[in-house]
Structure 1
Amino acid sequence: MQELLTNPAIQAAGAPFVVALVVALALHRFLPGGVGLAVIGGFLVAVLLTTGLTLQPLTATRKIIVCSLALPFVAVLLECIAVMPQAVWLKRMLQALPALLLAVAALWIIWPVVQRQEGMAVWLMAAPVMLYAAVSIYGAGALGRVQKQAFSAQAASALVLAMGTGATTLIAASALYSQLAFAVSAATGAVIVVGLLGTAEKLARLGMLAVYAAAVPVTLLAAAATVYAQLPVLVLLCLVLVPLFAWLLLIKPVKRIKPQQRWLELIVACLWTSIPVLPAIWLAWRAAGPVSF
């Protein structure tokens, strides 16, 4: 059993998928809005099997873990407050706050390196990371607010962004970052599987907690990898296009597929949103040079 649990494939995919599947199956009938807990549970299992939950010393990786476990709940709380009757400007501000929080979190994670820079080098290092974090989460949140016929777009965006982050960090960053990103993709995949088992009415959307639970960790992992590893900043530009490509599915949706063919619709959406991931992988490969797996 110990050898099984130390296998990277089990840590990054098998265990997170099984745990997320069990949690999602338990929640989807009685608390469908809480299935995002399955994504957090899958990520938490990967953390326990790789780094553990010790917080000292507070390294960049542990900062990412803390933010990934806490910020999705804060973001959902802000979303709940935003839907209450209030002025439009206040609603917009509350909806934008998760993006601001993630930008600050990204700066906190890379701060040990940023504070050693001088002059314009500070902005050149911090600005792309913070901008990527803010835009990525704002795009994910905006996509998650779509109420009708958005499951495939939301699911494809979350799944492909996690897998793209896992692939690029495996090539040009660290195995640990890659394992954590792939764990998010496995847990997200489990939630998607459970969602596809539901009725057409329950298939309307993925849920805000699931959207943020999937987006926060992979966004921070990719952002940190540009500072602490060899991941090119241009990879972030490619990855941030994934939610945009998912949005295009809603603006001009693919031909409506029959309810019994939901899997086909999801596959088409995943293939479409994978387009910007391909140049991201190529850029990571070029930056890393020869890679031996």
Structure 2
Amino acid sequence: MTVLAFFFLSLLVCCFTTNVPGNKNLSGKHYGSGQSQSSGTNSSTSGSAGFPTSNKGCFSNIIKNPVPSDFRKKVGVFYVARSKSVNQQVYDAMFTNSLVGKNPLIWLPATTTVSVHVGQNYQHVTMDASGHPVCDRQNLQLLCRLDGVCPLQLFDVMFGATNPLSLVQYSLYNDDSAKGYDIVYICNKLNVKSGICDDPFVYVNTRVRPDKMSAADKTAMENVIDQTLKPYCMTKADLQVTIFRNDIPPCNAAPTADYVSSLAGWDASLAHPEQ
């Protein structure tokens, strides 16, 4: 079995097991500070204060009933309207999705599970102590199953060229219309004792830039956010609102060389379903 196949097979085991022993570092810089796993119990008031609230909700480490999602319908730019991850105000947060290769539909390694091979660029801006914008940009590679589970790798120069971070993203809500949006979740800190995530990250990603949305569309979206997060003991108030400004320069950093090489290598090695 290749290293790539072993990596994704490990993620598949992770996705179907709620209490997995051993260290699981599911962290990424754009998802906040590095975390591992905890053997304690979850509390909405314990640990460091979050932003804008410290409520950690009641998310399972692993979501067993995600909402189906097809990333072939998600090419292009998505704006992060609300999120829970970075513990300071973020500006101009967005994802840009692209399909990899001539045929992005692939078999997940060592399985017969159909998935979509996706390259993703993420960026947001924060302000330093002097009020100057600081750009943060990462590259992600995803093999997204059609059931709403996306094993992924995060590439960032701070982690080194050969050390991408491994995470799993789950779809909680999905609307692929022209004004659609999705709500996704990642557990950054597994709790193997309680099975409840100690550090959940949540993103509300919209097709329409949030400051360009109509009041009615924004109200409807916020109602959906509350309905979607209610089973997980959260509301929209627990997610920070991204501020979009036209006077902040865009993040134009080029993708890392290891990320570009990895996309090409995986595209060449992954098997494709017959079409």
Higher strand share: 2
TM norm structure 1? 0.27
